[in-house]
Chain A
Amino acid sequence: MSESGEARCPCHLSIGQEAIAAGVCAALGAGDTIWGGHRSHGHYLAQGGSLEGLFAEVLGKVTGCAGGRGGSMHLMDTEQGIPGTVPIVAGTVPLAAGAALAYKLRGEARVAVAFFGDGALEEGSVHETLNLAALYRLPLIFVCENNLYSSHLHWSERRVADNLNQAGAFHSVPSQRVDGNQVEAVYNAAREAVVRARLGAGPSFLECRTFRWRGHVGAGSDEDVGVRRRGELAEWLARDPIQRAEQELVMKLAMDLEPHRAAIDQEIDRALEAARQAAAPDPRRAGEHVCAR
């Protein structure tokens, strides 16, 4: 949809980063919430957001998960614990902490997850939030998806050291580096963090190493950014998180994946068709919902 131009809103695809969303969300339970950014299609789907709602939103339809008001960067499904994603870098990191504070104040054993990219560590609010989360012992998990690039800039053009896994330490937030292309590794790290949070032991920070296959925005692969990235991409394609997960399933559980693949394809076709058929929002109602009543 992004390639053909059918989707007109800016789409930041998370292809290649699927294991992080899947691994973290699998470790969560009912009532937990996830907060995301501009590249959150994966988070939304992994947390159980409606596929039709996503397609319709990206196509600007009234049946979209944000009523067509948000587009790809503003996904929500409150029933599934997705209060909202926003494209201001690090924008939802403090919001996730606020939700965690609300759970703590009410004595609920719920957990909030803040998903953000490596670029977000360049925003002061993430460091402020790390301190606040540690200070208030919030049930919050910081999930940094380090795909090595912030838009077109490689990490080495933005930092002098490859040390995002140390971001939490200064604020006394336990941190670890995880292979973000290995769903089981992500799940195990997230589960540990969830247990910590539910016990009231406070926040955790996970740096999940990964790579985005496509460009910063849109379906292109950013090859214009430099020759080096082309070589890097080839390396990371060989570490395809989905293929790795599939191999595990086949080898360890002897699963037959074909029926699942067929069912998934069918689900996608059905959701996409429904989204395409749906109506656009009525421009006469464009003034609605500025304020809640």
Chain B
Amino acid sequence: MRTLTYVEAIREAHAQAMAADRRVFLIGQGLWSPWYAGGSLEDLDREFGRERVLDSPVSENAVTGMAVGAALAGMRPIVFHPRLDFLLLAMDPVINQAANWSYLFAGQASVPLVIRAVINRGGEQGAQHSQALHAMFMHVPGLKTVMPATPVDAKGLLLAAIDDPNPVLYIDDRWLYSQAGPVPEEMYRTSIGEAAVRRIGRDVTIVGISWMAAQALEAAELLTNQGIEAEVIDLRSLKPWDQSRVLESVRKTRHVIVADPGWRTGGASAEIAATIAAEAFHDLDAPIERVTLPDTPAPTSRAEEQAYYPEPEAIVATVWRALGRSKDQAGAAA
């Protein structure tokens, strides 16, 4: 199969969806810029015309609200926020309006909208250009949230999000853009709410989200050399999330690490850990461990920034800590 990068896969999903369905259009900032969206929307305006690819003024709130209204009027909009931080200016249309609409009106209408937002961690961009805020959105009923970690899912989840009759927040991470992998040419969908087992192992389960799923795979390689076989689950969807696949794996390995690219307190990892504790407590041989960002904003200077983002080694160390606290230490480390 042909290989694409993550960013090429995102672009292809947009292009195929727009070619296949007149209702699909794009609105947001940076759409006509050669660099703003990191190549993920390159030349879509030339291919489909600037009436359908609207590079908008800096009005996140109203632009997102317009996308909600267009969705209610029968379109399939994709509203683009080049930095997830700026989506905070549009919380009303996303949460009060789009997420509530189906429930509020007893299912008589829903909002088939894709809200795409990008995490731009690193690069000395500081606290307001790099936040991973997925947990805030995961909290909201009626809003689906997906975070692809591979090129194949970057395309498949975007196409699934466009098809979905509900608002779907699609969060991609600039650090994943250069990842390459096999991507089918046809239009296919990655089922929202389904996790993927990226690596089978018997000793410990690492549940990874987005960038941290990629880090977890690297950690698993390091662990193999140390005699530990980790099972890596790429969660892919945060809401709904694949509880059964995670629990099944945890019951097998009896040890679990949740690796989340967001903050710790009230984070996605907390929800996942709580569910595992409630549903599989007696299947665990060791306490649930988490690898997250510290509870601080992102620092800017490179020296501090490098310490801020967990590397695969941090996951490895956390795995060893879990195994060290295991009821069956000898068995787990054998």
Contacts and interface: CB of A to CB of B under 8 A. Distances in A.
Nearest to A83: B72
A131 interface: yes
A185 interface: no
B93 interface: yes
Interface string A90-131: 011111111111110110000010000000000011001101
Interface in B135-157: 141-142, 144
B166 A95 contact: no
A94 B106 contact: no
Contact of A102 (B54, B74, B102, B104): B74
Contacts of B181: none
B65 A125 contact: yes
A72 B66 CA distance: 24
Interface in B45-70: 51-52, 54, 56-57, 59, 61-70
Nearest to B67: A98
Contacts of B66: 94-95, 97-98, 101, 129, 132
B108 A78 contact: yes
B331 interface: no
B75 interface: yes
Contact of B165 (A112, A132, A292): A292
Nearest to B239: A291
Instruction: Please indicate which of the listed interface residues B73, B75, B104, B110 has the most CB atoms of chain A within 10 Å of its own CB.
Output: B73
B69 A86 contact: no
A76 B93 CA distance: 18
B243 interface: no
Contact of A99 (B63, B72, B104, B106): B72
Contacts of B67: 98
Interface residues of B, number: 43
Contacts of A129: 59, 62, 65-66
A66 interface: yes
A76 B108 contact: yes
Classify chain A's interface size.
Answer: 35 or more
B105 A76 contact: yes
A215 interface: no
Contact of A78 (B22, B68, B109, B142): B109
A99 B61 CA distance: 16
Given A131-B57, A132-B59, A98 B102 contact: no
Interface in B69-117: 69-75, 77, 92-93, 96-97, 101-110
A131 B141 CA distance: 32
A174 interface: no
Given A88-B96, A125-B62, A98 B69 contact: yes
A171 B225 CA distance: 64
Interface in B3-56: 22, 25, 51-52, 54, 56
Contacts of A94: 61-66, 68-69, 93
B105 to A, nearest CB: 5
Given A69-B104, A69-B105, A102-B75, A96 B96 contact: no
Given A94-B61, A98-B67, A290 B73 contact: no
A74 interface: yes
A218 interface: no
A287 to B, nearest CB: 9
Instruction: Please indicate which of the listed interface residues B65, B69, B77 has the most CB atoms of chain A within 10 Å of its own CB.
Output: B69
Nearest to B166: A291
A86 B257 CA distance: 42
A17 interface: no
Contacts of A93: 62, 65
Given A97-B69, A105-B52, A83 B109 contact: yes
B165 A293 contact: yes
Contact of A98 (B52, B68, B101, B165): B68
Nearest to A69: B106
Given A291-B102, A291-B144, A67 B69 contact: no
Contacts of B109: 76, 78, 83-84
Contacts of B25: 105
B120 to A, nearest CB: 23
Interface in B241-268: none
Given A83-B109, A91-B96, A131-B59, A103 B73 contact: yes
A68 interface: yes
Given A35-B69, A67-B107, 18 more contacts: A66-B104, A67-B106, A69-B103, A74-B105, A83-B73, A84-B109, A86-B97, A88-B96, A94-B65, A95-B68, A95-B93, A96-B69, A98-B67, A101-B66, A103-B73, A128-B61, A132-B59, A132-B62
25 contacts: A66-B105, A66-B106, A70-B105, A70-B106, A76-B108, A83-B72, A83-B73, A83-B109, A84-B105, A86-B104, A88-B97, A91-B93, A94-B62, A94-B65, A94-B93, A95-B93, A97-B65, A97-B66, A101-B66, A102-B75, A106-B74, A124-B61, A132-B59, A135-B57, A288-B107
Interface of B: 22, 25, 51-52, 54, 56-57, 59, 61-75, 77, 92-93, 96-97, 101-110, 141-142, 144, 165-166
Q: Which 4 A-B pairs have the closest CB atoms?
A: A98-B69, A94-B65, A67-B106, A95-B69
